[in-house]
Amino acid sequence: MKPLNFGLVIIVVFALISLPKTIVPVDATVPAKLVPTADAYVDSSNPESNFGISDYLYATFRDYNYTDDVRTNSYLMFNLGSFSSGEVASASLRLYAWHVTSPTPHVGVHQCSNTTWNENTIDWLDAPSFSPLAIDSVAVPIQDQWYSWNVTEPVNSAAGSKLTLVLSVEDINEHYDAYFYSRDGWYSPELMVELKDVTPPTFANFHQSTAYVKSNSTFYLSVDIYDPSGISDAQALFFDGQSNDGGNVSLIGTGENGTYSAYTHFGPAATEDTYTIKIHAVDGEGNSGLSDTLGAITLDNTPPNITGVNQNPSQNAVSVEDHVEINATVVDTTSGIGQVVLSYTVNETAHFKINMTNLQGSIFNATIPTLPYGTNVTYVIVAVDNANNTRTTQEMGLSYEYTVVPEITPFLILPLFMILILLSVILHKALAFSREPRQSERSYSEKESNHDS
């Protein structure tokens, strides 16, 4: 496994209690079970008789001094067509003994290359020969129990075709009887076949705690991994394009089928990018497999950009009757905008926060309500991207402020105008009156001048 790139590091070991667990039990020890497709014993004392329909399979040897010894052997055929050569990990033949005699017989299992004998016709005379050396030999001292022979090698070599096994007593010079049930009896013979594990683990239920993250920020990955042989290694791999540029992280689990997970983070040197995630796992037999792309995570260390802040009415024109609309262009090309907040302070004491809503495109908007005459308002725009990187207009060196001015409304303009005209008329008259001489004074003057003349 490639070593960690960019400091992608597992930091917390499997949190057993807090994690949802999906354990799917798969028991690797349950083998396939086959029953014979044919079985029959043959008897040297009845060399032309067929016992294919008997409930029993006999393996006996009886030693006689003055007549021929008597032997019975049993033939069993299995169809191994569903197996592939080399696929069988182990195989055992199981037989239930319903009667045995003392001394203890040793029953050998022999391989026979003939797989064309017929259960309903086979007899001592035409029974095919078998290899003299037993594949396995088992003492059968007690009746009413199962006995088992290791037949891995012949089952493996006959995989894909048929297999004939022959039961025969290995002892001589005494009477030895071992009777087993046939496939027609109470407990059929069984061939238990355990297959080698040649397939890699499988994956399901991938989960990631976030799609966007910044460096040094912990995120969580989990996946359910299954394999009959258990899990010896599991890694999450981060692909930048085609290569595993984002490094890998070990997933922690029990070694059994179940959930494998890690808390991890990107190091500060990791390249900002979108990484696809695949899981690589190795089973208990060394079979390894890589999952399809199960997820993706975007590394984003760049805060959003804030431009085009404007307000309406403008800074010097906000009256007591005005709501103030504030717009800003907020952009984050890597992970997108998570939230934009307008944070404003009234008279340097009261602080308020309003979510700015996305009007259209990249323009976000909020409204500060009307405030009394003389109120001073300062405000800051705070933008947060989906990876939780934050930018404020304050840290960009931008400051925004206005003070509420008194209102001059249209319905006051006409009365004010009329008052002004009235006042100017009065003033005019007053001035004109002060310049003209009084009528009595003029008359007197005229009289005086007339009198003088």
Write the CA distances from 249 to 2, 3, 4, 66, 95, integer angstroms: 10, 9, 7, 80, 50
Secondary structure of residue 46 in the 3-state scheme: coil
Minimal CA–CA distance to 264: which of 3, 2, 1, 14? Answer: 14
Q: How far is the CB of 383 from Ca ion (least distance, A)?
A: 10
Nearer to Ca ion, 225 or 368 (CB): 225
Q: How far is the CB of 89 from Ca ion (least distance, A)?
A: 12
Query: What one-character DSSP code corresponds to residue 267?
Result: -
Q: What is the identity of the amino acid at 452?
A: D
Tokens of 424: 């100017």
- Indicate which single residue of 135, 385, 393, 402 sits in contact with Ca ion (rule: CB under 5 A): 385
Nearer to Ca ion, 152 or 287 (CB): 287
Could you say which residues in the range 291-310 bind Ca ion, by CB under 5 A?
300, 302
150-158, 245-253, 381-389, 419-427 -> range binding Ca ion (CB under 5 A): 381-389
Could you say which residues in the range 147-186 bind Ca ion, by CB under 5 A?
182
Residue 72 lies near Ca ion (rule: CB under 5 A): no
6-14, 16-24, 83-91, 226-234 -> range binding Ca ion (CB under 5 A): 226-234
Contact 337, 383 (CB under 8 A): yes
Secondary structure of residue 419 in the 3-state scheme: helix
- Indicate which single residue of 332, 344, 380, 393 sits in contact with Ca ion (rule: CB under 5 A): 332
Q: How far apart are CA 165 and CA 151, in angstroms?
A: 9
The position carrying tokens 């290995």 is 170
Residue 334 lies near Ca ion (rule: CB under 5 A): yes
Nearer to Ca ion, 257 or 334 (CB): 334
- Indicate which single residue of 52, 154, 189, 258 sits in contact with Ca ion (rule: CB under 5 A): 52
Tokens of 82: 């569903």
- Neighbouring-strand partners of residue 145: 97
Secondary structure of residue 299 in the 3-state scheme: strand
The footprint of Ca ion on this chain (CB under 5 A) covers a number of residues equal to 17
Residue 197 lies near Ca ion (rule: CB under 5 A): yes
- Neighbouring-strand partners of residue 72: 43, 60
- Indicate which single residue of 39, 136, 177, 224 sits in contact with Ca ion (rule: CB under 5 A): 39
Q: How far apart are CA 32 and CA 88, in angstroms?
A: 10
Residue 37 lies near Ca ion (rule: CB under 5 A): no
Q: How far is the CB of 108 from Ca ion (least distance, A)?
A: 20
Nearer to Ca ion, 58 or 149 (CB): 58
Residue 287 lies near Ca ion (rule: CB under 5 A): yes
Peptide bond into 103 cis (omega under 30): yes
Rg (CA), the chain: 50
Residue 43 lies near Ca ion (rule: CB under 5 A): no
Q: Which residues bind Ca ion (CB under 5 A)?
A: 39-40, 52, 182, 197, 199, 227, 229, 283, 287, 300, 302, 332, 334-335, 385, 389
